[in-house]
Amino acid sequence: MVKKVPRLNGKVESIYKGHVVHLLREGVDMPDGRTIDFEVVRHAPATAVLAIDDQERAIFVHQFRHAIGGQIWEVPAGIMEDGEDPMTCARRELREETGFSADEWIALGKMYTAPGFCDEIIYLFLARGLTAGSQDLDHNEFLHPHAIPLAEVRRMVAAGEIDDSKSIVALYRAAEHLHKQR
């Protein structure tokens, strides 16, 4: 017996289209015969980088985020440009936001930020072998990089001082790689 699954029925209404997000209302035919309209945010893919220096410190940025009304601790991250692959974006974002470049890159997979209403996907990376350089921030970025010892990062996550999901997932996914290198 084949299970019925919800299917997009072709009804799509654009509610708002901005620089970062596109809000749509999409009709979905449900297995029980009902049609339900879902509001969906379409978002460009992004990358996030857990960069670890030779002193076992993670490079975090303390960044203003208007949507949450203040500052938040995050790993360097950003939206992929049209046609850009995840690795190229990760390298670019690390350099732009922190000034660092890295010799070693490990892909840590992908994550969805809020799949109940948004299709944003973030590709996660671990970067090692850092070389310092200068930041090249976008006009709307106000952030400051900080090198935080990994033990302190773990404490900050446990205490709720770091509550950015992509940063926490990157730290979790990198744990095995970091443990092997000790």
Known catalytic residues are 141
SS3 content of the chain, % helix, strand, coil (to 5): 25, 45, 30
The contacts of residue 127 (CB under 8 Å, 6+ apart) are 49, 50, 51, 52, 90, 94, 100, 102, 104, 105, 106
- Structure tokens belonging to residue 65: 């985020």
Angle at 71 between CA 146 and CA 86, to 5 degrees: 65
How large is the angle between the packed helices 165-180 and 150-158, nearest 10 degrees?
140
Task: Spell out where 30-135 has E strands.
Answer: 35-43, 46-52, 57-65, 70-74, 77-79, 101-112, 121-131
